[in-house]
Amino acid sequence: MRTRKKIMRTALALTVGSFMITPITAWSMEASDAPETVTIDSMSKLYGPVEFDHSMHVGYASCQECHHHTTGEVVADPNCARCHNSADENDVVSCSECHEANRFNEKYLKTLEDPKLYHIDKPGLKGAYHLNCVGCHTITSGPTGCVDCHAMTEDGEKMFNTGAFAPAKGTSSSGQKH
């Protein structure tokens, strides 16, 4: 029981962020080992954090549909299976472990110049979340609106000129005049 709790706690820590990583090995990961909810808040600025109901999503998709080849399940995409053909699970399964939060910073872009690198087009963390979530939600008629998953913050309202920062009707000096 204690070990189980430990795994749960570790998995939670790993999924939420990559800060407090204590690698675990030799445990077979099962859906029940996964955290119930994950708070995705690493990039919340214009939008608030996402309270991701992991346990609910376990019912909708198999592990590898989101976690690719990392959870010990055989990878679904035959293209990925060319290399990731063993079902070994990774020490870490959190998104941020592989998907770079600063996808376009100079240092990371430099690593893409390695001529032997296959993954030259791995989405950044924000891209990975949205492509995965919105992609599936579009097919399964899940929520796809921005504020369906995360509420807009004050910074967001400022950025989008909406809410309290909406342009006053008729007084705007600009606009599409063409």
Partner 1 sequence: MKKLFSRRNFLKGGLATTAAAAVLKNKETKASGDFEGYPDGMGVLVDLTRCVGCRSCEAACNKEQELPEPAKPFNDFSIFDEIHHGQKRRTDETAYTVVNRYDVPELDHPLFRKFQCNHCQEPACLTSCFVNAYTKTPEGAVIYNSKVCVGCRTCMIACPFYVPTFKYSSAFSPKIMKCVFCYDTRLKEGKAPACVEACPQEALTFGKRVDCIDMGRQRIRETPGKYVDHIYGEHEVGGTAWMYLSSVPFDKVGFDTHVPKEPIINSVKDFLAMVPMVLTIWPGLFVGFHLLATRKEKMMEMEKEKELAKQKATDEKEEQV
Among 61, 81, 109, 151, binds partner 1 (CB under 8 A): 109
Amino acid symbol at 20: M
Indicate whether 116 belongs to the interface with partner 1 (CB under 8 A).
no
- Tell me the backbone φ, ψ of residue 40, rounded to 5 degrees: -95, 105
Nearer to partner 1, 4 or 130 (CB): 130
Q: Provide the CB-side half-sphere exposure for 144 (13 A, CA).
A: 11
Which tokens in the block code for residue 130?
């949205």
Which tokens in the block code for residue 18?
């990559």
Indicate whether 111 belongs to the interface with partner 1 (CB under 8 A).
no
Question: Which residues are paired to 71 by β-bridges?
Answer: 89
Are 103 and 124 spatial neighbours (Cβ–Cβ below 8 Å)? yes
Report the alpha-carbon distance of residue 148 to residue 163 in Å, rounded: 16
Which tokens in the block code for residue 58?
């376990």
Q: Which residue has the tokens 């592990």?
A: 63
Residue 178 labeled ligand binder: no
Binders of partner 1 among 120-159, rule CB under 8 A? 120-121, 123-124, 126-127, 130-131, 134, 138, 144, 146, 159
Indicate whether 106 belongs to the interface with partner 1 (CB under 8 A).
yes
Among 85, 105, 111, 151, binds partner 1 (CB under 8 A): 105
Nearer to partner 1, 61 or 166 (CB): 166
How many of the chain's residues bind partner 1 (CB under 8 A)?
33
The site for partner 1 (CB under 8 A) is made up of 79, 103-106, 109, 112-113, 120-121, 123-124, 126-127, 130-131, 134, 138, 144, 146, 159-162, 166-167, 172-178
